[in-house]
């Protein structure tokens, strides 16, 4: 407690979110803890009252009828009351949980940005399917559906031919669930994928895995969802939305499902930028298909590499000079003295 500021203490350990959904969950959490504390205080008070005022007093010799205090079992109204009260408490908690859950899971038909997320061992691919631009135009970036084998490491048989990995006996005709878009950001062992998103806009994510189960997790969204291969056959709802990202900044993202050897290095970054910067970013990448994500970030005066995490680094230098890499300030990602769109 002494390590917390007043506002942190009132969150009862709940992290600070950057979406309205995260705020809703924080309120639910805070009020649930307050309700639990009220209940705790009543229980502590009753316990204290019992052991203080109903203990045996005096030291005289015991007579047979003094061995126990007066017994008051089978008080039917009292027992009904303390059975009913917990049901009321559970009903109230259930009610508010459903309200918040519905708001977190809400999907509206007019997301301003639709992002395709593809998880694979052990990185991420992000594609922009549609973007409603500030000038009223709609950018359409969908290219095609594809097979999970396109995102997997090639395997060869004895004859040197490429063989697809088994997909639990699934037929070929359902192996086309992955989305490929014109503008994509793909992470590699040397580069953390930076997913650029606008602040203040409803964003939809559609996610699928090319191999095993992963989980898309941005701690600041207070939200994670398993990324499944064959989402339809696995009965997963692989679309979800945030109604807004409330402030610009760099937010780390992680895989939250143990997915193999390099699971812990399957990090990415969400870079929330102003709508103006975001539109310029999309226009630049659409007009310059060979440009890297780093160049596109530089073009909108954003730090071109991830700030919140970095590619796996063993930090095993023997001379002691290697220090953790810092690429900037996660709360202020703009490059100073730079003009947005200057390279365009």
The residues binding Cu ion (CB under 5 A) are 214, 255, 259, 266
* Choice between 111 and 187, CB closer to Cu ion: 187
d(CA 225, CA 210): 16
Provide the minimum distance between the beta carbon of 263 and Cu ion in the complex, in angstroms, as a whole number.
Answer: 5
For Cu ion, the closer CB: 112 or 214: 214
Q: How far apart are the first and last CA of the chain?
A: 51
Cβ distance 208 to 225 under 8 Å?
Answer: no
Least gap, CB of 236 to Cu ion (angstroms): 15
Rounded to 10°, the helix 76-105/20-53 angle is 160
- For residue 87, count other CB atoms closer than 10 A to its CB: 9
| Residue 257 beta carbon to Cu ion: minimum distance, rounded to whole angstroms | 6
In whole angstroms, the minimum distance from the beta carbon of 330 to Cu ion comes to: 23
Rg (CA), the chain: 28
Q: What minimum distance in Å lies between the beta carbon of 44 and Cu ion?
A: 44
CB 242, min distance to Cu ion, A = 21
What residues pair up with 253 in beta bridges, in sequence order? 268
Output the smallest distance, CB 162 to Cu ion, in A. Answer: 23
Q: How near is the Cβ of 124 to Cu ion at its closest, in Å?
A: 9
Nearest residue (CB) to Cu ion, 214 versus 277? 214
Cβ nearer to Cu ion, comparing 119 with 183? 119
How far apart CA 95 and CA 97 sit, in angstroms, is: 5
Under 8 Å CB-to-CB from 8, ≥6 apart: which residues? none
**CA distances to 56, 61, 65, 67, 79 from 70, in Å:** 11, 18, 9, 9, 18
Question: Residue 265 and residue 255: Cα distance in Å, rounded?
Answer: 8
CB atoms within 10 A of CB 277: 24
Closest approach of Cβ 253 to Cu ion, in Å? 11
């Amino acid at each position: 407690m002494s390590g917390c500021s007043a506002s942190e203490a009132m969150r009862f350990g709940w992290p600070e979110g950057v979406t309205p959904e995260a705020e809703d969950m924080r309120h639910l959490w805070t009020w649930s803890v307050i309700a639990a504390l009220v209940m705790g205080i009543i229980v502590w008070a009753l316990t204290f009252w019992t052991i203080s005022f109903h203990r045996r007093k005096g030291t005289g010799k015991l007579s047979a009828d003094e061995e126990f205090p007066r017994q008051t079992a089978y008080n039917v109204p009292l027992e009904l009351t303390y059975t009913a009260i917990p049901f009321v408490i559970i009903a109230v908690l259930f009610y508010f949980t459903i309200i918040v859950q519905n708001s977190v899971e809400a999907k509206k038909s007019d997301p301003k940005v639709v992002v395709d997320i593809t998880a694979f061992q052990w990185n991420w691919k992000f594609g922009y399917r549609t973007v409603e631009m500030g000038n009223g135009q709609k950018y359409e970036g969908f290219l095609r559906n594809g097979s999970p084998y396109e995102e997997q490491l090639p395997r060869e048989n004895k004859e040197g031919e490429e063989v697809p990995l088994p997909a639990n006996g699934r037929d070929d005709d359902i192996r086309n669930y992955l989305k490929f878009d014109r503008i994509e950001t793909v992470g590699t062992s040397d580069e953390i994928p930076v997913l650029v998103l606008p602040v203040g806009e409803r964003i939809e994510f559609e996610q699928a895995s090319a191999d095993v189960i992963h989980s898309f997790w941005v701690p600041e969204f207070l939200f994670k969802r398993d990324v499944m291969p064959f989402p339809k056959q696995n009965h997963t709802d692989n679309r979800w939305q945030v109604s807004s990202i409330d402030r610009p900044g760099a937010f780390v993202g992680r895989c939250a499902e143990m997915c193999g050897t390099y699971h812990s290095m399957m990090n990415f970054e969400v870079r929330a930028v102003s709508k103006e910067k975001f539109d310029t970013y999309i226009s630049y990448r659409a007009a310059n298909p060979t440009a890297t994500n780093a160049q596109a970030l530089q073009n909108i005066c954003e730090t071109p590499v991830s700030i919140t995490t970095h590619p796996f680094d063993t930090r095993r230098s023997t001379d002691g000079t290697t220090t953790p890499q810092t690429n900037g300030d996660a709360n202020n990602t703009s490059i100073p003295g730079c003009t947005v769109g200057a390279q365009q």
